[in-house]
Chain A
């Protein structure tokens, strides 16, 4: 006898339908979950790109040969930042032979891409003495972001220690802290 087309039992059809329905439900659920995950990521990205970040100096180094202070600047946000110009105030320590000086608004013109870290070289005053222990530099960088015409300012305080005088790179948390509010009764040079 020739085999009949489309035979079988209702029980096996029910069983196969259950198996296929489970697989199909898994597939449709994954598709729906993936679409929701993508929507959530897009929303988070929109939110993050709407907030301009401020640059962070992660470490500083004194470049003795080049006569410059090298800052590593991190842009933690999703918006590019443009560093426009730099200013520098030098305050000599006790053992320095260099007089105090200030440099204002030297053009910089560096763009820090989103989530990137750049080295920025701030030239010290030409033919000035080498930095020695105890010297203090206040390096200011002005920057803008695309959502505003305002100019913002970042000031990094750098106190020369024995290590940094030799040109060793000092991460920002390890640098002498100078921007803490001074407590009463403490000396001007107080702190750590």
Chain B
């Protein structure tokens, strides 16, 4: 059974690699630019994605009344020997510790947006055709980065909402 499952896994992996290779071969340069922007900005966002993901799991466990992973929270918030800190406070510190990375990500994204917008100014502002049919490769990088930005925004907003609900949630008394 294990050998069969391993074989199946290998076949799936080979198929995935084959599909990726064919997709890359058939992609237009503009689609490759989208891929490049997505990969690059996901690399920039990796700390945020992991951080907000872990923070969300921490806050979720706290809300459900389960025992959350305090060690991960202390490492994320950058505090040591903080057993006396309430878990809700720890979550808030963790959220605040991720803010500089979020700011850096947004700064890079806005810069890319401005550069893309500047290439669009080559067309008359009222030329719908020029604005909506992208011809520049940097626009593809921008669209790929937008996917990463949406992921970062969704994770950060969800984590912030979870941390905010901890303050007024009913679990505050039990978990304190």
Contacts and interface: CB of A to CB of B under 8 A. Distances in A.
B164 interface: yes
A162 B69 CA distance: 103
B143 A27 contact: yes
Nearest to B147: A24
Contacts of B28: 32, 35-36, 39
Given A8-B161, A31-B140, A17 B34 contact: no
A7 B31 contact: no
A7 B160 contact: yes
B134 A4 contact: no
A170 B133 CA distance: 45
Nearest to B144: A28
A126 interface: no
A38 B135 CA distance: 9
B57 interface: no
Contacts of A38: 135
A24 to B, nearest CB: 6
Interface string A1-30: 000101111101110110011001001101
B122 to A, nearest CB: 16
A106 interface: no
A16 B28 CA distance: 31
Interface string B23-54: 00000111100100000000000000000000
Contact of A20 (B134, B150, B158): B150
Contacts of B158: 10, 13-14
Classify the interface of chain B: helix, strand, loop or mixed.
helix
Interface residues on B, range: 20 to 34
B31 A9 contact: no
B160 A8 contact: yes
A34 interface: yes
B134 A9 contact: no
B61 interface: no
Contacts of B34: 28, 31-32
Residue from A4, A7, A39 having most chain B Cβ neighbours under 10 A: A7
A102 B162 CA distance: 97
Contact of A28 (B147, B154, B157): B147
A8 B164 contact: yes
B169 to A, nearest CB: 12
A17 B150 contact: yes
A17 B157 CA distance: 10
Given A10-B158, A21-B150, A31-B134, A4 B30 contact: no
B128 to A, nearest CB: 13
A12 B160 CA distance: 12
B150 A13 contact: no
B103 interface: no
B30 A31 contact: yes
B4 interface: no
Contacts of A32: 28, 30-31, 34
Which 10 pairs from chain A and chain B are nearest by CB?
Answer: A35-B30, A6-B160, A17-B154, A7-B164, A35-B28, A13-B157, A34-B133, A13-B158, A8-B161, A28-B143
11 contacts: A6-B160, A7-B161, A10-B165, A12-B161, A13-B154, A27-B146, A31-B134, A32-B31, A32-B34, A34-B133, A35-B30
Interface of B: 28-31, 34, 132-135, 139-140, 143-144, 146-147, 150, 153-154, 157-158, 160-162, 164-165
